[in-house]
Each structure stands twice: as C-alpha cells, then as structure tokens.
Amino acid sequence: MLDALRPAVASAALLLSLATATAQAQISPQLSQQIKDVLENAADNEKPSAQQVVPGLELRVYRSADNALVFSHKAGNFNPAAAIEIASATKWVTAATFMALVTDGKLRLDSTTREVLGWEGAAGAITLDQLLSFTSQINEHFCALNKRSSLEACAQQIFNVTRNKRFRGNEYAYGAAAFTVAGRMAEIATGMKWVDIFDKYMRQPLGMSAQVDYWGLWADGAPTDNPSLDGGLRLTVDDYARFMQMIDDKGVHNGRRIIRADLVENMERSRFQHPIRLKSHPATALGYPHFEYGLGNWVECQAPRQCQNAVNSSEGAFGYYPWIDRQSGYYAILAMKGNNRGSQQGGSKRSATTVGILQPALNQAFAGN
C-alpha cells in the first residue's frame, strides 16, 4: 500500500482543503476525510497477517491553545486502550523524567560522571546533557541489551571501555548505552531504582495508567534491573497524550509544575555543534539527514542548520511518532506498533512517510489561527 501513497500528490490533495479550516483551527470535514484516507492506506488491514508491516494505527491531533482533541482516527487492528512498546519514542519521556529530577535539584544538566559515578580521566567529564543528546561519544555496548544485567553493572562495563577514549567534542552517536549511564546517575543521585524514579517523577504526577512500564529492550516484559531507558517503554495512547500535553504546556500538568519551563525549552534545542561528525544518525535512513537532536527528541530542521521554529519529535522503530509544532499550535501522536517485515525499515519507514504527508497540511491548517 505504501508505494501507492505518492507523498507529493497526497500532500497537494490535502492542501486543497485548508481553506475550509475554521478560525478555531478545527479540522474541516474535507481535510478530515483526506487524512483518514492516508491513514487507511498506511495500515495493512486488508493484507494477510503474514504480510502486514503495520496491522493498525491511530492518529490523534490536539490543539495547543486548549489541549482539545480536534482529530482522531483509528485504522486497521489497533487497540488504543492496550499498552504497546514504543521503542525510541521512549527517549522523549525518559529525557523529560531527567528534567523533572533537575527541576527537583537532584541533578544538573552539567552534572558529570566524575561527580556522580566517580568516573576517572577524560570520561569523567561527560555531562548529563551530553548523555541525553548522544554527544558524549560513548559507543554502543551489548550490556545495554542484556535484561539480566543492571544499570549499575552495565554502566561500569561502559566505563571500562570508555575510560581511555580520546574525546573530540563534536561527535553524535545514537544508541542505548548513553541513556544507561544517565540512568545510573539518576539512581545514585536519588537512591532509588529507575522504575521508582519514573513512577515518582512522571507516571504518578501525570496520572498515567498502571500499564506503563519500562522493559528491557524489546524484551518479554520480565522484571529487570536493566530497563531500556532509550527504547523499552510501553504505554497506552492516553498515557502518551498526557505526557505530550505536559510538554506542550511547558512542563505544567493540571496546574502542577512537573518540569521548569526553561528546561522544556532546553530539551527542544539542537545540541549539534557545526561542524559535527555523525557517527550514527538513524534519521538519515528515513530520508532526513538534516534532522538534528535535542535531549531525547529530534529537532526537525528543514535543511542543514535551518532549525528555527522546527518541529520536535521522537519516532520509534515500530513506527510510533509523536510530534509538536509550537509555531503552528498543535501536537499529534501517530500511534502504531509495526514490524520489520516487508521493507528495510518496517514500521518506522511507514510512519515517517505518513507523517511526511500529513505535516504540511496540518501545519498550514493550524498556522495563524
């Protein structure tokens, strides 16, 4: 189905209906139907199960001014009440949990591995900011995928192979190991396990469901002391919507401040220093080599170094794709749990293509209203 979407044609068709959007930035009936058609085409609900890359999905669009749900549509076999693995969409939530810790004074963005973990040498100068933006130059390590390990043991193994490394200061390398080290810093700073940190600083304050949990990377849900902080979160669409509302409201949820406003803004700022060496940049495989990175989220620059008023997002390997457009005044979640069958990138490629079709129409529908 994806080959039939024809992104340029579909985007043009969607834009034709923008004139009928109301002054309140509602989604017009014509635009609504066209979005539904795109979503139905993105799902494989008419294919035999063995051929389905994306069995089902749901799109939700919220207006920033009042957090009103202005559009939702479910396609294929998707249960919005079920908690699903969201892969790298986890990173945004994890980074925000760290910002809640910073707000509470438990850590600073410039807290170093030397201060918190006792790391020595050049590796001891690595900061929390660098870990959460993948600019620490920590290489990937197999222990981050080992659910029988722990954040403590894995962080020590990462130090053992990092301690003698030379640091350039301008390298971006995407991967789980940096978040593992950051997680251990949080455990030391609070005296709590990560799952309890998350429960105290994010799940309970946002009123997320009891289904929310961190697993080992793509694991079977068994308890682990080595949760995947960069890709192991499972939750419902309602849970992620609560998180997005808090981010959209600059760290406030139901009148309660969870994160300082300046820290939310800090999360959304690119950490790329130019020239930068891109050692591992997964957005390139999806056709977006100019995307840059903040803290746990992508800064969707339109061209190299053109990042002003950028959309912020955090797509996962299975296709889960939340994004926020502050300039246009809306945020959205394309929720799915795809797989890697049928194309090189599986669900992530499908969602990137679909969002690439939808964003121009939604941006213009909301802009100026």
Which residues in the chain come in under a pLDDT of 50? 1-9, 11-13, 15-23, 342-344
- The C-alpha atoms of residue 191 and residue 71 are separated, in whole angstroms, by 42
Q: For domain 87-315, is the CATH number 3.40.710.10?
A: yes
Position 279 scores a pLDDT of: 83
End-to-end CA distance of the chain: 34
Given this model, what pLDDT does residue 24 score?
54
- pTM of the full predicted structure? 0.91
36-59: pLDDT as tens digits? 999 999 999 888 888 888 999 999
Q: What is d(CA 356, CA 70) in angstroms, rounded to the nearest whole number?
A: 20
Give backbone dihedrals phi and psi of 338, rounded to 5 degrees, phi first.
Answer: -85, -170
Measured between alpha carbons, how far is residue 172 from residues 132, 155, 295 in Å? 11, 19, 12
pLDDT of res. 343: 47
* Paired strand residues for 348: none
DSSP letters spanning 12-31: HHHHTTGGG--TT-PPPHHH
pLDDT in tens, 22-37: 335 567 888 899 999 9
Number of Cβ within a 10 Å radius of residue 286? 17
Q: What is the pLDDT of residue 23?
A: 38
Q: Where along the chain do its domains lie?
A: 87-315
DSSP for 219-255, written as a single string: --S---BS--TTT-EEE-HHHHHHHHHHHHTTTEETT
What is the per-residue pLDDT for 289? 83
Task: List the one residue out of 147, 160, 108 whose CA is nearest residue 130.
Answer: 108
| pLDDT tens per residue across span 61-98 | 999 999 999 999 999 999 999 999 999 999 999 999 99
Per DSSP bridges, beta strands 321-325 and 298-300 are unpaired
Could you tell me how many residues make up the chain? Answer: 369
